[in-house]
Structure 1
């Protein structure tokens, strides 16, 4: 799982990154609204944790922007505002959950994990199922026709990205950002190698990875 935390209090973001990393959850941080807007619109995250009161651009503006663009990534709003009207407005704007400061970190982690499970594919425990292809995201195990395949790390991350959001096009930039990191200098041929391996594995199934010319890839039914 990979999440984005947009929060201007550096001490809070550092503490949260440490705690989420211990849970084997990758975290990207933005400490102002402008950077948060850029990262949130990349659509490479499973959950976005978004503070409302931010310098440059407010959390609500970021939320409105990504929802207007069709980005359905689950969002948890963090705020010191605790009136019912504030919470209702945040939820009506497109937030999926709302947590008031100060909050218990255990509760935030639990809510992030719960939101990450709200996907388009069938989800049972740690296993996603799309067109008969089952994938255990925790153990990197792919199940095809009752056969079990242990995937290498990068291939596993790519499979997770596809099966959590089938029929969604992922650009090459999104894939590089998600798997190798925002600052990585990776050739597109690296992506093609892992896509090729996954395609070979899916040959006998009802699912396929389609190339969207000039854009990227998506997992869909044959």
Structure 2
């Protein structure tokens, strides 16, 4: 893949670009929005990786300009601005994905690979669906069988992570990292507690269970077969 990383934190940019280079990809790096806009609209890339807080031209404005120019290259925001409204704003501006710092490089690499696999004509997926369970990323709404389900912010993020990994088992450590940004084990039952609360809302009122515990391994969300 050929990637364009627009990030003004030199250490982070070096870390990310080296990671992709070691994986066999080409990664160009720029540190400001003006140059990023020029490069993204002049050259061809498989995926754009963009920070929101950029000098010269902020990332949000840059992405809007890229989309206004007709450029549909898959794009992921990589930023420390992680509120729900901020994520919605980024997606509405033209982002295809949104990853909040601090992050694991393995997750960034997986998300970039997923974006690169999308057909060129495919529009941004803003609604995740597993069986009769739907999660709307823009409206921040969850429904199952047409019934609205009220989730707390961390429950919403946890469900999003599980739905994006549909059919795959996510370990407790992976969930701690992706949902709570813990890169260590805090020795608490936060994962188990939130899984229990989530299950009580999306599964127990319905006939078919979607959220499964895989003993001694982790959790998965999958449609019935």
Shorter-chain-normalised TM-score: which range?
0.5 to 0.7
SS in 2 for 1:41: helix
| Structure 2, unpaired ranges of 5+ | 123-225
Do the aligned residues in 2 keep the contact of 1:43 with 1:71 (CA within 8 Å)? no
Change (3 A) 1:68 1:23: same
Distance between the aligned counterparts of 1:107 and 1:91, measured in 2?
Answer: 18
SS in 2 for 1:98: strand
Distance between the aligned counterparts of 1:79 and 1:120, measured in 2?
Answer: 25
For residue 69 of structure 2, what is the aligned residue in structure 1?
A: 69
Could you state the TM-score of these two structures normalised by the residue count of structure 2? 0.52
Do the aligned residues in 2 keep the contact of 1:8 with 1:55 (CA within 8 Å)? yes
Distance between the aligned counterparts of 2:93 and 2:61, measured in 1?
Answer: 9
How much does 1:81 deviate?
A: 1.2
Distance between the aligned counterparts of 2:80 and 2:47, measured in 1?
Answer: 20
CA deviation profile, 1:36-64 (whole Å, cap 9, x unmatched)? 11111124100000000000000011100
How much does 1:4 deviate?
A: 0.2
For residue 100 of structure 1, what is the aligned residue in structure 2?
A: 100
Aligned length: 122
Point out 4+ residue stretches in structure 1 off by more than 4 angstroms: none
Distance between the aligned counterparts of 2:86 and 2:120, measured in 1?
Answer: 29
1:10 aligns with 2:38: no
How much does 1:97 deviate?
A: 0.1
For residue 30 of structure 2, what is the aligned residue in structure 1?
A: 30
Distance between the aligned counterparts of 2:94 and 2:34, measured in 1?
Answer: 19
How much does 1:120 deviate?
A: 3.4
For residue 20 of structure 1, what is the aligned residue in structure 2?
A: 20
Distance between the aligned counterparts of 1:114 and 1:56, measured in 2?
Answer: 30
Q: What is the RMSD computed on CA atoms of the aligned residues?
A: 1.5
CA deviation profile, 1:58-91 (whole Å, cap 9, x unmatched)? 0011100110011000010011112110000110
Q: Aligned runs of 1:153-192 on 2, under 5 Å?
A: none
Distance between the aligned counterparts of 2:13 and 2:83, measured in 1?
Answer: 24
For residue 83 of structure 2, what is the aligned residue in structure 1?
A: 83
Do the aligned residues in 2 keep the contact of 1:51 with 1:59 (CA within 8 Å)? yes
CA deviation profile, 1:192-212 (whole Å, cap 9, x unmatched)? xxxxxxxxxxxxxxxxxxxxx
Distance between the aligned counterparts of 1:5 and 1:83, measured in 2?
Answer: 22
SS in 1 for 2:42: coil
Distance between the aligned counterparts of 1:46 and 1:107, measured in 2?
Answer: 17
Do the aligned residues in 2 keep the contact of 1:8 with 1:31 (CA within 8 Å)? yes
| Structure 1, unpaired ranges of 5+ | 123-222
How much does 1:33 deviate?
A: 1.3
